[in-house]
Structure 1
Amino acid sequence: MENVHEKIHICLKDFFGFKKFKGNQEKAIQSIISGKNTFVVMPTGGGKSLCYQLPAIILDGVAIIISPLIALMKNQVDSIRSYAENENIAHFFNSSLSKIEKERVKKLVLNGETKLLFVAPETVNKKENLEFLKKCEISFFAIDEAHCISEWGHDFRPEYRKLKTTIKEINNKTTPLIALTATATEKVKKDIIKNLGIEDSDLFISSFNRPNLYYEIREPDNINSDLIKFIKANSGKSGIVYCLARKTAEEISEILNLNNIKSLPYHAGLDKNVRIETQDKFLMEKINVVVATIAFGMGIDKPDVRYVIHYNLPKSLENYYQETGRCGRDGGEGECILYYKKEDVDKFKSFNSKKIGSEKEMNNHLLNEIVNYIEENTCRRKILLHYFGENYNEKNCNKQCDNCRQTKEKRDIKEKKEIPSFDLKLLSILKKIRQDIAKEKKIPPFIIFQDPSLEEMTIQYPINDQELKSIVGVGDGKVKKYGGAFIAAIKHHVQENNIAKVDDYIIKSKPKKNDLKIFIIQSADRKLSFEDIMEQKKISMADLIGEIESIVHSGTKINIDYHINSILDEFQQDEIHEYFLNEANNDSIDEARIYFEDEYEEEELRLMKIKLFSDLAN
C-alpha cells in the first residue's frame, strides 16, 4: 500500500479526531496493514482498540473482531459508529440477535458496507456461521482479550483454544491476525502465540513500569508492631492494607484503631451500605487506612494513596502488581510493603493440595513465582517487569526497591532517602487548608487539588491568579473557587521567610479562544436543546458530550441539568449518581453499563458522570 504513513495519519485525524498516536499504536497499525501477524500487549487505557479499528477502516474487506465481552460489543460498535456517517460501518454478530437481524447483518457484510464485525468465540466456532464467514472478504482477524486463550492466564476461556483451527477453516489465505491483551506474562504470551499459530508475529509490548513506586519486603519479628510504626511514620497519608482473610482484616483494623490510627475493614462479608460508607470516609480522609481482603479487593479510585501494604502473601505476582498499582496513581510517591511469613506459604500450599490436574500445577507455579520474587536479592522491579516479559536494566531503578537501596547504601549510608525539592513547611500548610476546605464542602481533598499540584505550588510559589493557573491540574474554575486561600497562604509564607521568587519561572500565555466551547456554554445558559446545538454546529451527540466533558475538566462549570431532567427522572439520576460516587471501581462507562445491565444508554451515563464531576470539582 502506497503512502501508508500518510494514510493512517489522515485517518487518525479526520476519522477519529486525534492528533497523534500513543505508545506503540502506530507501529502496531503499520504492522497489520502491511499484512503481518501482530501481537499487542498494552495496559488498560493505552489505546488497544485503535490498533484494530484504524486498520479496519483503511483496508479493503471486513475485519473480524473476536471478543469474549458480549455485553460490551454493542458499546464497541456504537463507539465506531459515532465517528462515521454510515451506521453500517460496524456490527456485532452474536446470540442476542434475532434470525432476521442476523440475516440483515450478513447481507451488509457481504455487500461490503461493514468494515468491522464483532463476534464472540462461541459464535465464530459454530458450524452454521462458518459458511457465511467463508464468503466474506476478510481484511484481518483481531483476537481481543487474547490472554483468554491461555490456561495460565487469569481469565481462561476454552472456546479461545479452537480459534486457530476455525480461522484456518474460514480462510486459508495469508490473512493477517492481530492479538491484543492488557496483561500477559512471558508464559501467557508464549501460550497465546503457540495456540494462535503466530510465531512469526511482530510483537509490541508497552512498559508496565511504575517508576514512582518503591517496593520492599519485610520479615520483622513482630509484624503488628512494625505495621503501626510504619503507618505512624506516614501520619496523615492514605494507605491500604491487604489481608488474606476477612477475620484478619477486622482484627488488624481494630489493632490500628487501638493505636490511634483511624482505620476500617473492607470485605465482601460486610453490608453493602457499610462498604459504601467506608469508601466515602476513605475518600474524604475521615480515615487514613482501609484494611481489605485480597479476594474482594477495594475497587477504589483514589489517586493519592501513598502506601499499599500486603499483610499476607498475594495470590500471584499479577495480583501483586494490580494491588500495588492502587498506589501513587497521581504520579506522587508510593511505598509498597509486603510482609513475608512462612505460614502464609504453608496456607497456600494447603489450598493447592486440594486441587487436581492442571489447576493444581498452575497454582503451585504462581506460588513459586511470588516466593522467588520475595527471596531473590536482585532488583524487585526487574523481577516484577520480567514477569510481564519486559527487559529492565536495574540501573534505572534509582533505589526504588529495598534490594537496590541496600546495595547502594553500602557505598554511602547518607543516600538512604533523597531530599525532596519542594518546601515541606509550605506543603504542610497547604494540605491543612485543603483539608479544611474539603471538610467544609464535604468533598474528597483530591477533588480540590491533587498532591502534585500542591507540591508544584511549593516550588513555584504562585502569588496571584495567573501564576496559580500555570500549576498543573489548576484551571480557571479551581482558581476562582479555591485559589484565594492558597494564594494568601503562599504569599504570607514567601514574605515571612524572605523567599526570593524567580519571576520569569512562570511562563504566561494568552488563553486560546474556542468558539464552539463558548457557543455550548452560552447555549446551555439559555437552556437550548441539545438537538438544536447539534443542528446549528453540525456535530454529533458524541462530539457534543465530548466538548462538554472538556469544558468541565478545564475547570468551567456548565449547567446541563435541564437536558438530564428531560431524559432521566429523579430516581434514575439518584441511582446513577450513587453508583459513580460510591459503587464504581473507576469512571469507566463500559463497567457502568455492565453494572446496570444496559438499563442506561452511554449518553445518559456520560452526562451524569459530567454532572457529578462538575458539581464536586468546579
Structure 2
Amino acid sequence: MVGVVSPTAAFPSLETALKHHFGYDQFRLGQRLVIEAVLKNQDALVIMPTGGGKSLCYQLPALLKLGVMVVVSPLIALMQDQVDSLVDNGVAATCLNSSLDYSSVRQREADLLAGNIKLLYVSPERLMSPGFFDLLGRLIQSVGVSGFAIDEAHCVSEWGHDFRPEYRQLSVLRERFPQIPVMALTATATERVRVDIAQQLRLRDPLVQVSSFNRPNLFYEVRPKGGEREGYQQLLSQVKQHQGSGIIYCLSRKRVNELAEKLTADGESVLPYHAGLSDDVRRENQTRFIRDDVRLMVATVAFGMGINKPDVRFVIHYDIPRNIEGYYQESGRAGRDGEPAHCTLYLAPGDIATAKYLISQKPDENEQRIAAQQLNQMVDYAETTVCRRRVQLSYFGEILGETMEGLCHQCDNCTNPPPIEDWTIEAQKFLSCVARCQERFGMAHIIDVLRGSKKQKILDLRHDQLSTHGIGKDRSVEEWRLLGRSLLHQRLVDQTTDGYPVLRLNAASWQVLRQQLAVQVAVPKDFVSGPADEVPADGPEMLQLLRVLKDLRKKLADQQNVPPYVVFPESALRQMAQTRPQTLAAFGQVSGVGNRKLEQYGQVFTDAIRQFCADYGLESDPGATRSRSRPARERRQAVGETHRHTLELHRLGLSIDEIADQRGLSPRTIASHLELLIGQGETVDVDRLVSADRQRAIVDVLMELENGSLTEMRDRLGSAYSYEDIRLVRAAWQRSQSS
C-alpha cells in the first residue's frame, strides 16, 4: 500500500506544513522541487552539500504521506542522532539496529505495525538481515510504506570516496518492492558517481536534483607544516585562536593519540576517535563531543558520516587527505548551521610520501592507480595558487561564476592573491604539445617533451622529432606544472579520471590556441596565512545574552540526554539574542521554532530573555512581532558614544575601512554602527559608501526576496557584494519605505 496525502488536506501549503513541523518559513534551494516529486511517488537522486537540507527532503514527505518512510543510514550513531532530533520536534521516528535488546526491537516493531511511527531508520546490514523483508511485507499490508530513502548514497558506488560493498545489495529493494518509490541522497557525488548510484539502485526516471556544492560560509586555507615540534606548535596556536568546537583530522591512529595527549597536556578539552578504540569508547567520545562536554575531537576519517553536529566552527586536516571528494566531505563538517567556519589543511612533503606509501600497500593494482591519481589531485589543490573554491567546484563539474574574476573571497588565495601574470604564449606551447602528442599522455610526459628530454620513452615514441620538443627549455619543471594545474583548474584543458590521467583538449583549449582567449596564471609568492577570525560585529549585550541562552540550552539538553543542537541550532539562539523576543508570539517568529518547540521551550526561553533584559536595563525588541522581512538587527538599541564616534568620522569623509583602522575595530563592526544609525534616523551618506550600480542591484534583490535573509540575498547577488554593502543599502531602503 503506497499512498499520499495532499498537503492541503491538513495544511493550505507545503510552507505551512514546513513551519508547523520544523519551524522554518521557507524552503532552501531545491528542497521544494524534490519534496513535490516524492509526494508524487517519483524516484529521486538528491545531491545537496553538507548542511544543505537533504534530510528534510524525505522527512517532510514522510509526515504528509500515508505509511512509514524507511531510511537506510550507514551508522548507528548517525541514525540515533536523527531520531533524537525528530522526536524532540514532535515527529514519530524510531530506529532498528544491533544496539537494541530483544524486547526493545519487539516493542518498536509493534509500534510500527500499529501505525504509531512515520520514519524508520535502519542500517543496510539490518535491512538485509533474515526476517526484515517479512516485517516490510507486514508493514505494507497494514499501515503502508511511503518510500525508501537511501542516505549517504555515494557508498553505493565504487567510484565514491567511501564505497561500502553492503550498499550494493540495496538494489534488491526495487526487485522485491517495485511499487515503492526510492530516493537516494548524498552530499558528494561526481557525474560518474551519480550515474553509478542511479544504475545500482535501479532508479526509474528519477528527478535528479544537484544543488550547488558551494559552501560560502566556509573559509579555506592551506598552511605549510614544519617539523614534528614546529608543526605541533603551529596547530596549538591555531586551536587557541579559534572559538567553539573543532575537529582535527589525521591519517593514522598513532598521530591521533599523540595529538590528543599533547593538546590535553596543554590545557585543551579534547578526545580521540579512531577504529582502534572499542565501540563503547568511540560512542562515548562522540557523544561527549556532540553534547559540548569537550571542545575538540582528534580523529581519523573513521569519524565521518556519524557526525551531525551543526555548530563545528573549524576543521583542521593535520595530514593531507587522500582525495578531494573526501576532503570536501570532511571539511564540510564545519559550519553546517550556515554560520562562518574555518577549514585549514597543513601540507608537508613527508605527509605526501606517507600517503603514497599507504597507497602502494593496496593489493589491487587498479585501486592503487585510482588512489594515486586522486592523491595527485589533492596535492594539486594544496599547491594551487588559484581560488581554492574554484578547484573544489570544478572537481564536481561546477563552475564558480559569482564574480567576473571568478574569486570566492573566502580562501587564502583570494584574500591574499599571488601576482597574476600573462602566460598565454606558454599555454599555447603546452596545449600545442598535448595536440602533437595526440592527446594520449599525461602532464609529466608533456613537460618532458617541452623541456627537450632525451628519455628512452621520448626517443622510442619519436617525440624528440615533434615541433614542440624542447620549446619550453626556458621554464622549469615546477613552472610547467604550475601552468598545467592552472589550465586544469580554469577548465582550459581536461583530464581523464579512470586512474590514467591523460590530458585532452576541449573547446576552450582551441580558443587559447587560436589566440581568442588569454591565459592568466597566479604565480606563487611567500606564504601568507589567511585572515584571523573577525571581531564579532554584534554588541556586547547580544554576545552576553547569547552565552546565557547557550547555557540554558545545554542545561535542557542534559536533562533530556540529547545534544544541545537538538534543542535549538546556534543560528536560532543567535536570532533570539539579536531580537530578544519576550512573548510566545514573538518567540514563534524565530526561524527553527515550530509548534512543538514553541510549546516545549517557549516559556523557559522567553523568561530567561525577559530576566536578562531587566537585569541590564534593555528594552524588548520592538520588531519582534513585525514582518519577518525586517532584519533582526534593526531594533531599538540606544545610540551610544561608540556609534556617535563612528558617525563623526564618517561625516569627515572617512571610508569604512579607514574608520575601522583608526578605531581599531573591524569593518564589519563599523558597518553595523552605520546600519543602526540609519535605522535611528541619522544622516549617513550611503551613496558615498556603495556605488549607485551596486545599490540598484541590491534593491532589486531586496524587492525580489521580500522575506529573504542576509545570506540568501548575498547568495543571489554573489560574493562580489559584501554583507556590509547589503546591510547598509537594506537599512536605507527600509527607512525610505517607512518614511
TM-score (norm 2): 0.47
Q: 2:354 aligns with which of 327, 347, 359?
A: 347
Asked if 2 retains the 8 angstrom alpha-carbon contact of 1:216 and 1:338, the reply is yes
Asked if 1 retains the 8 angstrom alpha-carbon contact of 2:250 and 2:319, the reply is yes
Tell me the residue number matched to 1:483. Answer: 609
Tell me the residue number matched to 1:150. Answer: 157
Q: Does 1:373 align with 2:373?
A: no
Asked if 1 retains the 8 angstrom alpha-carbon contact of 2:156 and 2:168, the reply is yes
**Quick one: distance in 2 between partners of 1:29 and 1:304?**
26
Q: How does 1:194-205 map to 2 (within 5 A)?
A: 203-205=208-210
Tell me the residue number matched to 1:336. Answer: 343
Q: Does 1:218 align with 2:333?
A: no
Structure 1 counterpart SS, 2:417: helix
Q: 2:540 aligns with which of 419, 425, 433?
A: 425
- Kindly tell me: are residues 34 and 283 of structure 1, through their superposed partners in 2, closer, same or farther at Cα, counting changes over 3 Å? closer
Q: 1:241 aligns with which of 225, 244, 248?
A: 248
- Kindly tell me: are residues 269 and 461 of structure 1, through their superposed partners in 2, closer, same or farther at Cα, counting changes over 3 Å? same
Q: Which amino acid aligns with 1:363?
A: A
Q: How does 1:4-23 map to 2 (within 5 A)?
A: 10=8, 19=17, 23=29
Q: 2:311 aligns with which of 304, 309, 319?
A: 304
Report Cα offsets for 1:47-97 as digits up to 9, x if no partner.
Answer: 454799899989xxxxxx99898978x999987994999xxxxxx997745
- Kindly tell me: are residues 456 and 369 of structure 1, through their superposed partners in 2, closer, same or farther at Cα, counting changes over 3 Å? same
Asked if 1 retains the 8 angstrom alpha-carbon contact of 2:247 and 2:314, the reply is yes
**Quick one: distance in 1 between partners of 2:201 and 2:317?**
37
- Kindly tell me: are residues 253 and 52 of structure 1, through their superposed partners in 2, closer, same or farther at Cα, counting changes over 3 Å? closer
**Quick one: distance in 2 between partners of 1:229 and 1:212?**
23
**Quick one: distance in 1 between partners of 2:564 and 2:183?**
41
Q: 1:232 aligns with which of 229, 240, 250?
A: 240
Q: 2:186 aligns with which of 182, 188, 204?
A: 182
Report Cα offsets for 1:470-513 as digits up to 9, x if no partner.
Answer: 6656852333664355334543xx6xxxxxx796433369xxxx
- Kindly tell me: are residues 54 and 466 of structure 1, through their superposed partners in 2, closer, same or farther at Cα, counting changes over 3 Å? closer
**Quick one: distance in 1 between partners of 2:11 and 2:588?**
29
Query: Offset of 1:311 from its aligned partner?
Result: 0.8
Report Cα offsets for 1:194-225 as digits up to 9, x if no partner.
Answer: 77898986532134433322111111433222
Q: Which amino acid aligns with 2:371?
A: N
**Quick one: distance in 1 between partners of 2:309 and 2:265?**
25
Q: Which amino acid aligns with 1:233?
A: Q
Report Cα offsets for 1:106-135 as digits up to 9, x if no partner.
Answer: 9x99xxx9986989xxxxxxxxxxxxxxxx
Q: Does 1:505 align with 2:596?
A: no
Query: Offset of 1:245 from its aligned partner?
Result: 1.8
- Kindly tell me: are residues 196 and 354 of structure 1, through their superposed partners in 2, closer, same or farther at Cα, counting changes over 3 Å? same
**Quick one: distance in 2 between partners of 1:307 and 1:298?**
17
Report Cα offsets for 1:352-389 as digits up to 9, x if no partner.
Answer: 22221432233224323322332233332333344444
**Quick one: distance in 2 between partners of 1:284 and 1:34?**
38
**Quick one: distance in 1 between partners of 2:566 and 2:249?**
25
Report Cα offsets for 1:243-277 as digits up to 9, x if no partner.
Answer: 22222122223333444434343334446665566
**Quick one: distance in 1 between partners of 2:541 and 2:568?**
15
**Quick one: distance in 2 between partners of 1:280 and 1:33?**
35
Q: How does 1:418-567 map to 2 (within 5 A)?
A: 422-427=537-542, 429-430=544-545, 433=548, 443=558, 451-452=570-571, 455-456=574-575, 459-460=578-579, 475-479=601-605, 482-483=608-609, 486-491=612-617, 504-507=622-625
Q: 1:359 aligns with which of 367, 371, 376?
A: 367
- Kindly tell me: are residues 267 and 391 of structure 1, through their superposed partners in 2, closer, same or farther at Cα, counting changes over 3 Å? same
Tell me the residue number matched to 1:41. Answer: 47
Report Cα offsets for 1:559-584 as digits up to 9, x if no partner.
Answer: xxxxxxxxxxxxxxxxxxxxxxxxxx
- Kindly tell me: are residues 226 and 49 of structure 1, through their superposed partners in 2, closer, same or farther at Cα, counting changes over 3 Å? same
Structure 2 counterpart SS, 1:505: coil
Q: Which amino acid aligns with 1:334?
A: A
Instruction: Calculate percent identity across the aligned residue pairs.
Output: 30
**Quick one: distance in 1 between partners of 2:319 and 2:168?**
34
Structure 2 counterpart SS, 1:359: helix
Query: Offset of 1:335 from its aligned partner?
Result: 0.7
**Quick one: distance in 2 between partners of 1:249 and 1:470?**
44
- Kindly tell me: are residues 24 and 51 of structure 1, through their superposed partners in 2, closer, same or farther at Cα, counting changes over 3 Å? farther
Query: Offset of 1:397 from its aligned partner?
Result: 6.7
- Kindly tell me: are residues 257 and 103 of structure 1, through their superposed partners in 2, closer, same or farther at Cα, counting changes over 3 Å? closer
What is the RMSD computed on CA atoms of the aligned residues?
5.8
Asked if 2 retains the 8 angstrom alpha-carbon contact of 1:379 and 1:401, the reply is yes
Q: Which amino acid aligns with 1:155?
A: F
Structure 1 counterpart SS, 2:415: helix
**Quick one: distance in 2 between partners of 1:115 and 1:418?**
51
Q: Which amino acid aligns with 2:236?
A: I
**Quick one: distance in 1 between partners of 2:55 and 2:167?**
26
**Quick one: distance in 2 between partners of 1:437 and 1:143?**
36
Q: Which amino acid aligns with 1:185?
A: T
**Quick one: distance in 2 between partners of 1:470 and 1:179?**
32
**Quick one: distance in 1 between partners of 2:168 and 2:566?**
42
Structure 1 counterpart SS, 2:17: coil
Farther off after superposition, 298-307 or 25-34 = 25-34
Query: Offset of 1:226 from its aligned partner?
Result: 1.8
Query: Offset of 1:309 from its aligned partner?
Result: 0.8
**Quick one: distance in 1 between partners of 2:275 and 2:315?**
19
TM-score (norm 1): 0.55
Structure 1 counterpart SS, 2:625: coil
**Quick one: distance in 2 between partners of 1:198 and 1:345?**
39
- Kindly tell me: are residues 51 and 28 of structure 1, through their superposed partners in 2, closer, same or farther at Cα, counting changes over 3 Å? farther
Tell me the residue number matched to 1:575. Answer: none
Asked if 1 retains the 8 angstrom alpha-carbon contact of 2:273 and 2:300, the reply is yes
Tell me the residue number matched to 2:414. Answer: 404
Asked if 1 retains the 8 angstrom alpha-carbon contact of 2:331 and 2:343, the reply is yes
- Kindly tell me: are residues 298 and 270 of structure 1, through their superposed partners in 2, closer, same or farther at Cα, counting changes over 3 Å? farther
Structure 1 counterpart SS, 2:416: helix
Q: Structure 2, unaligned stretches of length 5 or more?
A: 19-25, 75-94, 98-105, 119-125, 421-527, 628-739
Report Cα offsets for 1:567-612 as digits up to 9, x if no partner.
Answer: xxxxxxxxxxxxxxxxxxxxxxxxxxxxxxxxxxxxxxxxxxxxxx
Structure 2 counterpart SS, 1:393: coil
Q: Which amino acid aligns with 2:383?
A: E
Asked if 2 retains the 8 angstrom alpha-carbon contact of 1:465 and 1:483, the reply is no
Report Cα offsets for 1:124-155 as digits up to 9, x if no partner.
Answer: xxxxxxxxxxxxxxxxxx98876455321233
Asked if 1 retains the 8 angstrom alpha-carbon contact of 2:248 and 2:318, the reply is yes
**Quick one: distance in 1 between partners of 2:201 and 2:552?**
56
- Kindly tell me: are residues 29 and 301 of structure 1, through their superposed partners in 2, closer, same or farther at Cα, counting changes over 3 Å? closer
Query: Offset of 1:232 from its aligned partner?
Result: 2.2
Q: 2:211 aligns with which of 206, 219, 231?
A: 206
- Kindly tell me: are residues 177 and 379 of structure 1, through their superposed partners in 2, closer, same or farther at Cα, counting changes over 3 Å? farther
Query: Offset of 1:336 from its aligned partner?
Result: 1.0
**Quick one: distance in 2 between partners of 1:26 and 1:441?**
32
Farther off after superposition, 341-350 or 288-297 = 288-297
**Quick one: distance in 1 between partners of 2:203 and 2:193?**
14
Tell me the residue number matched to 1:573. Answer: none
**Quick one: distance in 2 between partners of 1:30 and 1:446?**
28
- Kindly tell me: are residues 78 and 26 of structure 1, through their superposed partners in 2, closer, same or farther at Cα, counting changes over 3 Å? farther
**Quick one: distance in 1 between partners of 2:72 and 2:305?**
27
**Quick one: distance in 1 between partners of 2:379 and 2:417?**
21
**Quick one: distance in 2 between partners of 1:189 and 1:98?**
28
Q: 2:302 aligns with which of 288, 295, 303?
A: 295
Q: Structure 1, unaligned stretches of length 5 or more?
A: 1-5, 59-64, 86-91, 120-141, 495-500, 510-618
